[in-house]
Structure 1
Amino acid sequence: MKFEDTHAGNGILAEKNPLPLGEKSHLDEKTQSSNGKAANRKAANGKVEICVKQEANGKCVVPRKSLNQYSWQEIQKHNLETDQWLVINRKVYDVTRWADKHPGGRRVLTHYAGEDATDVFKAMHPNIDVVQLYLKPLLIGELAPGEPNQEIKKNAQLVEDFQELRKSLEAMKMFDANLVFYFLHFIQILFLEVLAWLMLWHFGTGWPNTILISLILTISQAQSSFLQHDIGHLSVFKKSRWNHLMHKFVMCHLKGLSTNWWNYRHFQHHVKPNIYPKDPDIDVGPLFLIAESQAVKYGKKKIKYIDYEKQHLYFYFVALPLLMPVYFNLQSMQVMYLRRYWADIAWVSSFYIRYFITFGPFYGIFGTILLIYLVKFIESPWIAYVTQMSHIPMKISQEENRDWFTSQVLVTCNAEHSFFNDWFSGHLNFQIEHHLFPTMPRHNYHKVAPLVKSLCAKHGLLYVSKPMLTAFGDISRTLKTSAAVWTKAYYET
């Protein structure tokens, strides 16, 4: 057996796993052993100088030995939470013991265990070179020469075409953020916050003015959601610590929600969108049944927590108004408290302190709390429609191990491009492009959309784009269809 002596910058040695594709003969082992001893003797005598290589920076690097080789059949066995291997660019990594340290959460890695993760790895990490340093100690081998780059059931030509498309977009600088764009967006939010306070100071606390102030703050909150969404995905700033600080400021201070809670939830959605139960955004039972498989399961088991025949109706009275002020808000607080995210707790506390200082003198403590939740109540339908219009009406299934391009295109759709649609949705009307390239600045989505559409046409995939109001209506129509599936399974089986 040959192992690779791989060292990270901190000197941690890569873990070894003696599971080769095939055994070498005893003769080969003896030959390797004798050759190794001879090399050591020569090195000791100073006769062989090639045992170390001198880099330009003067550091000495130990030469790498050949890697263990694995088949896909062997790799796919390591797909458990307690045993996780990933393949990235034909290299095999054991991430089992490192998973708890993963900034995106353990479950993101679990969802791809035993699979090729090359495209999702590139898609979710804006600074690949930095992340490579963390991968080095986890390297245990590589795919055997006869193995394909990805699992056999995936479309190899489509994977290759998509990777070429990504390289072209990188060469076109489509992943470079325009700081002016984000600066103006940030100024817009601050302007609305100041405007709300000035109106209160000048016109007082009457109901008409309070409603108008709430609407202004709602626009500010929604636009803050879109800004933090971008910052959470990409490196707006060159220095990661500034990007991290800005994300805390926008998500925690301006919106009052935990960044860690958002990261762990949202990244799962991105790596396995509309895959039940891996995507938390579609795991909304028992309140709603949106996946056909879930509806059939509940129906056959005679599960009826709620009258699901009417779920398309109570969606308007439950999901739309309560998503932000109740579900997201309480879940964020619960995660911060149970996992002891002290930094997030401090930042979120600053959100409430700011509101009490700004609006407390006018409304009092109780009135300020009502104002906070009135704003969240009004914002909730806006965010619910924008985030769900592109997913709920699309394909929802259990794990099918599709390639990255297909898995994103089949489960997302766009709303038509216009100045208002882009502003109103924070450019999330380009969900197809956003899911294919999460680290791409949203001001470039409309530029790459024609190229993505062309690749879809080449491989016979439907590129769905619809009017925004149609996309909104498709949510309730999908819920009604799922309800019919549940009704049939419930009463006829």
Structure 2
Amino acid sequence: MPPQSDTTLRNPECSPEVPPQLFTWEEIGLRSGRRNSKKEGWLVINRKVYNISQFYLKHPGGSRILSHYAGQDATDAFAAFHKDDDLVKKYLSPLYIGELKPDQPSCEPPKNEMLVNDFRELYSTVKKMGLLKPSYPFFTFMFLHAFLFDVASWFTIWYFGKSWLPFLIGVAMFTIGQIQYGFLQHDLGHISVFQEPKRNRWFHLFLMGIFKGGPASLWNHLHNQHHAKPNCFRKDPDLNMHPLLFSLGKTLSVELGKKKKKYMPYQYQHTYFALLAPLTFLIYIQLAIFYLSVQRKKWMEFTFILTYNLRVCLMYVPLMGFKSFMAYFCLARFLESTWFIWISQMNHIPMNIDYDKNLDWVSAQLAATCNVDHSLFNDWYTGHLNFQIEHHLFPTMPRHNCKKVAPMVKSLCAKHGIKYQCKPLLTAFVDILRSLKTSGEHWLEAYRLG
């Protein structure tokens, strides 16, 4: 029996005497798939079916993240991204249209229900242990130490002048300050610095704009998609450089080669990655910052970005002149971009890259992420992104708690035969190049065979 029109669907919370409309996974998939001319989107959370066709445009975490789960079970993703249950229930209630039929599995095949249930039990345990609660002294220290590097970069030029040695020391300090601000804005964007989501968003907007010169909304729009569907082509924005600059993963590389597409000499991509990846990212970000802020009419963000650029100019131009300042600023930005690219990609490029296979939350995150060894330096240098597995499984968890949950995640993986990868920092960097070289070879072979 086909599903009823939306006008006939009732919300049992409003009319308890009316039984909910029941659906199968096949019906949900048909209403959310490409064959659906009405472009509706349904998803499932805790066996309840919600119509997100209109709401996804208003979603605070970005419009595309919801549509990526259309026709799928989003229970674990929903729990992972939201901390305030009472708040999100207010938004969910009007979207409710029915439930799964009793004979339907909670997770559509081929998901591993035992793994899903065990992870949900682990999530409940983590929550009860208070590991989702932040340490305010920790984040205060992280901000202050970044701020001190920021100030020290200016003081170096002010006190020692702009000769080559203080110039380079100042650039290094400016770069460190900016990257550490970046890690902190990442924490704010993931709602992990404060308990209240609204406070995180306001501080994220302020820190990203005044101290980084970037738009918080763009970060939310792109990065939340990455966490929802990591390493999934056409759903993870971090793969946008494929295929224009890089050929990533065996599946996509072979597909690209068979289609005889050659935008770059991909067989050499491992040699040009170190220069081209950070340079492209830097140029893209600088162009996108102003364009998207104006296009989306984010006037507060635009004002903050202008304030940042004016602040930096007023701090440095009187000390070193405009040309020297531009060299100072551009070099620092390039170094920051290089730092960020290697840290962010060491956990993902060597892992599986493919189209969305609709895996369960744990399997999807473990297939796309790996860890780097824990040490005080590695934790600081990577902004605790060396715990990428735990960060992806629990994106709202404050980073200082990731090491505490890591043993529990390892046990879960061991129980269900899932590979939990952890490697030294330098090995992780080398694996980026190895993976790019292998993908380039797959592309070349497929390209020659046609």
TM-score class, shorter:
over 0.9
Alpha-carbon distance, 1:256 to partner = 1.2
Task: Tell me the residue number matched to 2:22.
Answer: 69
Q: For 2:358, which of 358, 379, 401 is the aligned residue?
A: 401
Alpha-carbon distance, 1:305 to partner = 2.0
Alpha-carbon distance, 1:202 to partner = 1.1
Matched, 1:294 2:255: no
Q: Equivalent residues in 2 for 1:16-95 (5 A)?
A: 16-18=6-8, 63=16, 65-80=18-33, 82-95=39-52
Alpha-carbon distance, 1:386 to partner = 0.5
Matched, 1:170 2:123: no
Q: Equivalent residues in 2 for 1:1-12 (5 A)?
A: none
Task: Tell me the residue number matched to 1:232.
Answer: 189
Matched, 1:217 2:174: yes
Task: Tell me the residue number matched to 2:341.
Answer: 384
Alpha-carbon distance, 1:16 to partner = 4.0
Task: Tell me the residue number matched to 1:157.
Answer: 114
Q: Equivalent residues in 2 for 1:303-318 (5 A)?
A: 303-318=261-276
Matched residues in 2 for 1:448 and 1:466: separation?
18
Q: For 2:311, which of 341, 346, 354 is the aligned residue?
A: 354
Matched residues in 1 for 2:203 and 2:444: separation?
48
Matched residues in 1 for 2:102 and 2:286: separation?
50
Contact 1:235 1:243 in 2 (8 A): yes
CA gap 1:64/1:258 in 2 versus in 1, 3 angstroms? farther
- TM-score, normalised to structure 1, is 0.86
Alpha-carbon distance, 1:96 to partner = 0.2
Higher helix proportion, which one?
Answer: 2
Task: Tell me the residue number matched to 1:193.
Answer: 150
Alpha-carbon distance, 1:337 to partner = 2.6
**Percent identity for Structure 1 against Structure 2:** 44
Per-residue CA deviation, residues 202-238 of structure 1 (Å, 9 max, x unaligned), is: 1112121111001001000111111000110024224
Alpha-carbon distance, 1:448 to partner = 0.4
Matched residues in 1 for 2:326 and 2:300: separation?
23
Task: Tell me the residue number matched to 2:140.
Answer: 183
Alpha-carbon distance, 1:239 to partner = 4.1
Question: Aligned letter for 1:162?
Answer: F
CA gap 1:431/1:239 in 2 versus in 1, 3 angstroms? closer
Contact 1:427 1:442 in 2 (8 A): yes
Contact 1:324 1:376 in 2 (8 A): no
Higher mean alpha-carbon deviation, 176-185 vs 371-380, is at 371-380
Could you list the runs of 5+ residues in structure 1 that have no partner in the other structure? 2-14, 21-52, 54-60
Q: Equivalent residues in 2 for 1:268-287 (5 A)?
A: 268-284=225-241, 285-287=243-245
Contact 1:126 1:235 in 2 (8 A): no
The structure whose RCO (Cα within 8 Å, separation 6+) is larger is: 2
Matched residues in 2 for 1:238 and 1:438: separation?
14
Matched, 1:426 2:383: yes
Alpha-carbon distance, 1:364 to partner = 2.9
Contact 2:49 2:100 in 1 (8 A): yes
Per-residue CA deviation, residues 102-128 of structure 1 (Å, 9 max, x unaligned), is: 112221111100111000001111222
Alpha-carbon distance, 1:371 to partner = 2.3
CA gap 1:289/1:344 in 2 versus in 1, 3 angstroms? same
SS of 2:355's partner is: coil
Matched residues in 2 for 1:319 and 1:64: separation?
59
Task: Tell me the residue number matched to 2:428.
Answer: 471
Matched residues in 2 for 1:274 and 1:116: separation?
19
Contact 2:189 2:204 in 1 (8 A): yes
Matched residues in 2 for 1:452 and 1:211: separation?
42
Task: Tell me the residue number matched to 2:408.
Answer: 451
Contact 1:275 1:396 in 2 (8 A): yes
Matched residues in 2 for 1:146 and 1:491: separation?
50
Matched residues in 2 for 1:465 and 1:235: separation?
24
Matched residues in 1 for 2:150 and 2:335: separation?
16
Higher mean alpha-carbon deviation, 274-283 vs 264-273, is at 274-283
Q: In the comparison of the two structures, how many residue pairs are matched?
A: 441
Task: Tell me the residue number matched to 2:392.
Answer: 435
CA gap 1:142/1:382 in 2 versus in 1, 3 angstroms? same
SS of 1:141's partner is: strand
Task: Tell me the residue number matched to 1:256.
Answer: 213
Question: Aligned letter for 1:391?
Answer: H
Contact 1:393 1:475 in 2 (8 A): yes
Contact 2:191 2:201 in 1 (8 A): no
Task: Tell me the residue number matched to 1:36.
Answer: none
- TM-score, normalised to structure 2, is 0.94
Contact 2:48 2:100 in 1 (8 A): yes
Alpha-carbon distance, 1:406 to partner = 0.6
* Structure number with bigger Rg: 1
Alpha-carbon distance, 1:62 to partner = 6.5
Question: Aligned letter for 1:287?
Answer: L
Contact 1:355 1:368 in 2 (8 A): no
Higher mean alpha-carbon deviation, 97-106 vs 178-187, is at 97-106
Alpha-carbon distance, 1:240 to partner = 3.7
SS of 2:30's partner is: coil
Matched residues in 2 for 1:446 and 1:244: separation?
25
Higher mean alpha-carbon deviation, 331-340 vs 212-221, is at 331-340
Question: Aligned letter for 2:397?
Answer: M
Matched residues in 1 for 2:178 and 2:362: separation?
32
Task: Tell me the residue number matched to 1:43.
Answer: none
Moved over 6 A (4+): none
Contact 1:414 1:431 in 2 (8 A): yes
Per-residue CA deviation, residues 166-200 of structure 1 (Å, 9 max, x unaligned), is: 00000100000000000000110111112122222
Matched residues in 2 for 1:304 and 1:445: separation?
41
